[in-house]
Chains A and B, each alone.
Chain A
Amino acid sequence: MTDAGTLHAITVLGHDRPGIIAWTTDRLAALGLNLEDSSMTLLRGHFAMTLVCAGAVSGDEIAAALAPLAADGTLTVTVGEVPREELPAAAGTQWVLTVHGGDRPGIVSSVVGVVAGVGGNITDLTTRLAGELYLVVAEVSLPEGVDGVALEADIKAAASELGVGATLRAVEADEL
């Protein structure tokens, strides 16, 4: 691993097909870029990948190398330089928030608004729509001093106004 060079954020979005990751990472490796972090999933069947990679290459060179990926118009590729962020030391407490119920607009914004209201930070978020069921699972970091039990009550109140249910549970970590 190297932390030399510029940090680039690359997104690839669009029609899914086999081989997108293999093709993309092959081109990035050929440029001498190191993949420092990545996330890929299918969103309603659409390919969605974000990569953060480092190396002594310009954004224009990366964009040129990846241009064939977007050539047929089914995928969109973006390349942007990002600053190095200091990874924050683990502070506060970690929680998992689950919300599920009938699908309707505003579920995520309403519930995470309550979390934001106490200075909580969402560090990971997944939403799924499965038939009529809408599901939100979020990992939440709460500042020291925030009462998780009281926050859960506030979240449940906000959720019930939307006709959905919510639970907030402390993350259990097994230290080995």
Chain B
Amino acid sequence: MGALRGSLTFSRFYVTGDIPDDVPGTTLKRIRANAFQPLSPDDEKNEGAGWASIEDPFDTDLDHEKVFYNEYVCLGLRLDRWVIPGPLLKTHLRDAEQALLAKKGLERLGRQAKADLKTMVVRKLRRQLVPSLKSYDVVWNLRTNVLHLYSQSERIAALLDDLFKRTFKVDLVPESPGTAAERLGLDAKEVRAFAGLEPMTLARLEEEAR
């Protein structure tokens, strides 16, 4: 579940770099430029991502009220994918191949012909299907510059990284034990200790040897 209801599962990022003083006043145009665009059956790509309203992933006509909640930037990272069930594709491909062989009086198709046929079948099937839709809440606290992505998937984090940097022209540093430690503002002695750290164990040597 996400930022708006239910229990929360998320990963955290630190927003760094040249953060504008007035994010709401300067970024809405770029947010709108990176809003989600519907997939077309004729596209080569199998998926597409972009911004949507955090409250309604079908709403991609973003305005100030839908995005800026006091000190929070709230967005939905919408990801649509064409998902064609394997057996369906296989059956349609076999039928199309047989029809083409009969039409051309051939016994088998070459590699390129097969690839072209698959593209054609995929596009035809896409017209009969609806892409699968997922949306992940993204909340950036402008006071702390901590961002919550309501997903722990590395793939979604990579999509966010790309889309966020493209939109806001700033960097995202993922929270981890190491990055959280560095953010504490370690003194010179602590920095040296941090660089030389080795993992600890609570096993005693005689037990480790067993």
Mutual binders A and B: no
List residues of chain B with CB under 8 Å of any chain A CB: none
